[in-house]
């Protein structure tokens, strides 16, 4: 399904025409210096021979260009983030995912694990402007080929990250959990996994895959802990919104289970009720197909809330994508949006039908969501899910 609102993107481009022109002229110089937040991207096209891109800008305040948690805290809107993205460049070079010991790739890897933004030198060529009708338009700026890359600064590595990077006997999953438990941002963890900076058999991992892998690994660990908590005796409802993503959380009395349903209202004219994904108490055996990385991102936000509450519930989440979210900005929007939306006081009831009615009243497009929900349907016929 096409998810980019071409008309809205076009008008946004007109607003930022000067910034885009400036960054293009900057890149056309070929031999340039810039600043990376730090950040790099690993593509999935033509796997196992993938593009590894250094993401940089000519702005000395580069860290703000890759700071999802800060954007959420400061309530940035889509236009704010779009504006930042128009000033980014993604300079990429092809590598085989298993051949990670090349000198230039090692420099990129060291840049990614740096604690602070870095002054970098680059030789680039072949500017490739993104197409408006593509789903990934301006998620990471204009694209160009990377010919050479060097680090101009003395860089520092966080001790928590340095330990994982140099431990070649630690499994990737253990590294992910260690970093998360030591309060390292998932954004940083996924980049480390992506560029082959953790694990025993290290390799490059496409960025989209690494983001989902990190959310899933942390989530599975939390689920095992939550299954030891007492089951909630009530029903809780909470709704919140961020960057055109509206979330309604329904905490249902019962053992752990989770479901994400999505509704798309991107063009102000039509509403699309997407197929959801779910897991019962026993979990899933495969990755989800309908809601993709959003599933694991929302599930992580829910699990963090349950860990805080020290309670166990069956949870159904409805994500409504609104016209305000006119261009996809990445899975981080879903994770941080869900985290913001789930904070604050819940509405509480002890009656299931009342809970469903309350949830529908909070949705903009309820449209029989309870019939779309596998968990609610199951609850009609069974007392428990285990």
Q: Which residues contact 347 (CB under 8 A, 6 or more apart)?
A: 236, 237, 238, 358
Same domain, 16 and 146: yes
- Give the pLDDT of residue 267: 67
Token pair 């509450």 is at which residue? 309
Q: What are phi and psi of 171, to 5 degrees?
A: -65, 155
Phi, psi (degrees; rounded to nearest 5) at 318:
-110, 120
| HSE of 355, CA atoms in CB hemisphere, 13 A | 23
Q: Do 277 and 335 sit in the same domain of this protein?
A: yes
Domain co-membership, 259 together with 320 = yes
**Looking at residue 3, what is its pLDDT?**
55
Q: Is 226 left (phi over 0), alpha (psi -120 to 50) or beta?
A: alpha
Asked if residue 386 has pLDDT above 50, the reply is no
- For the purposes of burial, counting CB atoms within 10 Å of the CB of 308, is it exposed (0-12), middle (13-18) or buried (19 or more)? exposed
Q: Identify whether residues 31 and 117 lie together within a single domain.
A: yes
How far is the C-alpha of 94 from the C-alpha of 180, rounded, in Å?
A: 30
Distances (CA, A) of 38 to 55, 104, 256: 8, 16, 38
Residue 279 · residue 257 · CB < 8 Å: yes
Q: Residue 327's pLDDT band (boundaries 50, 70, 90)?
A: confident
Question: What's the mean pLDDT when you consider all of the chain?
Answer: 92
122 three-state secondary structure: strand
Query: pLDDT confidence of 284, banded at 50, 70, 90?
Result: very high
What is the average pLDDT across 91-103? 95
Q: Assign 268 a pLDDT band (cuts: 50, 70, 90).
A: low
Q: What is the pTM of this model?
A: 0.93
Element (H, E) at 143: strand 142-151
Average pLDDT over residues 40-67: 95
Residue 195, pLDDT > 60, answer: yes
pLDDT-based confidence at residue 137 (cuts at 50, 70, 90):
low
For residues 175 and 210, membership in a common domain is answered with yes
pLDDT surpassing 70 at residue 200: yes
- Whether the Cβ atoms of residue 126 and residue 89 lie closer than 8 Å to each other: no
The whole-number pLDDT of residue 127 equals 87
Is the sign of the CA dihedral 383, 280, 319, 346 positive or negative?
positive
Among residues 200, 224, 248, the one where a domain terminates is: 224
- Does residue 242 share a domain with residue 317? yes
Claim to verify: residue 292 and residue 373 sit in the same structural domain: yes
pLDDT at 349: 98
Residue 274 has pLDDT above 60, yes or no: yes
| CB within 8 Å of 215: residues ≥ 6 apart | 186, 293, 296, 297, 299, 300, 331, 335
249 and 312 within one domain: yes
- Per-residue confidence at 105, pLDDT binned at 50, 70, 90? very high
Assess whether pLDDT exceeds 80 at residue 224. yes
- The percentage of residues in the chain with a pLDDT greater than 70, rounded to a whole number, is 94
What residues contact 335, with CB distance under 8 A and at least 6 apart?
68, 186, 215, 297, 298, 300, 301
pLDDT of residue 7 exceeding 80? no
**Residue 225 token pair:** 């802990």
Work out the number of other CB atoms within 10 angstroms of the CB of residue 280: 17
Would the pLDDT of 1 be above 60? no
- Point out which residues pair with 242 in neighbouring strands: 245
Q: Which of 135, 151, 167 corresponds to the end of one domain?
A: 151
Burial 58-75 (b: 16+ CB within 10 A, else e): bbeebbebbbbeebbeee
Residue 32 structural domain? 6-151
Residues 104 and 201 in one domain: no
Identify whether residues 172 and 132 lie together within a single domain. Answer: no
Which pLDDT score, from 0 to 100, does residue 138 have?
Answer: 53
> Is 229 contained in some domain?
no
Q: Is residue 386 part of a domain?
A: no
In this structure, the answer to whether residues 322 and 218 fall within a common structural domain is no
């Amino acid at each position: 399904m096409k998810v980019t609102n071409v008309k809205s993107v076009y008008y946004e481009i007109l607003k930022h025409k000067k910034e885009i022109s400036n960054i293009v002229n900057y890149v056309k110089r070929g031999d340039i210096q810039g600043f990376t937040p730090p950040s790099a991207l690993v593509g999935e096209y033509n796997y196992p021979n993938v593009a590894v891109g250094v993401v940089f800008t000519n702005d000395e305040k580069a860290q703000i260009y890759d700071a999802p948690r800060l954007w959420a805290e400061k309530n940035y809107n889509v236009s704010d983030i779009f504006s930042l993205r128009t000033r980014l460049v993604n300079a990429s070079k092809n590598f085989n995912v298993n051949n990670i010991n090349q000198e230039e790739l090692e420099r990129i890897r060291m840049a990614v694990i740096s604690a602070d933004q870095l002054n970098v030198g680059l030789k680039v060529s072949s500017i490739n402007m993104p197409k408006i009708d593509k789903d990934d338009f301006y998620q990471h700026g204009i694209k160009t080929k990377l010919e050479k890359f060097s680090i101009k600064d003395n860089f520092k590595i966080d001790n928590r990250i340095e330990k994982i990077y140099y431990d070649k006997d630690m499994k990737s999953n253990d590294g992910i959990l260690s970093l998360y438990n030591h309060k390292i941002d998932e954004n940083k963890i996924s980049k480390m996994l992506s560029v082959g900076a953790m694990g025993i058999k290290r390799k490059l991992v496409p960025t989209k895959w690494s983001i989902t892998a990190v959310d899933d690994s942390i989530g599975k660990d939390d689920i095992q802990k939550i299954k030891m908590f007492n089951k909630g005796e009530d029903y809780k409802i909470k709704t919140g919104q961020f960057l055109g993503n509206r979330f309604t959380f329904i905490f249902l009395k019962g053992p752990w289970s989770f479901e994400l349903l999505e509704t798309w209202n991107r063009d102000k004219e039509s509403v699309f009720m997407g197929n959801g994904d779910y897991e019962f108490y026993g979990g899933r055996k495969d990755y989800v197909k309908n809601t993709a990385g959003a599933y694991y991102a929302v599930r992580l936000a829910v699990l963090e809330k349950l860990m805080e509450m020290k309670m166990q519930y069956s949870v159904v989440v409805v994500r409504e994508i609104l016209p305000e979210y006119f261009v996809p900005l990445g899975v981080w929007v879903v994770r941080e949006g869900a985290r913001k939306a789930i904070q604050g006081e819940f509405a509480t009831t002890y009656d299931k039908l009342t809970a469903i009615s309350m949830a529908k009243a909070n949705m903009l497009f309820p449209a029989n969501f309870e019939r779309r929900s596998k968990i609610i349907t199951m609850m009609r016929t069974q007392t428990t899910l285990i």
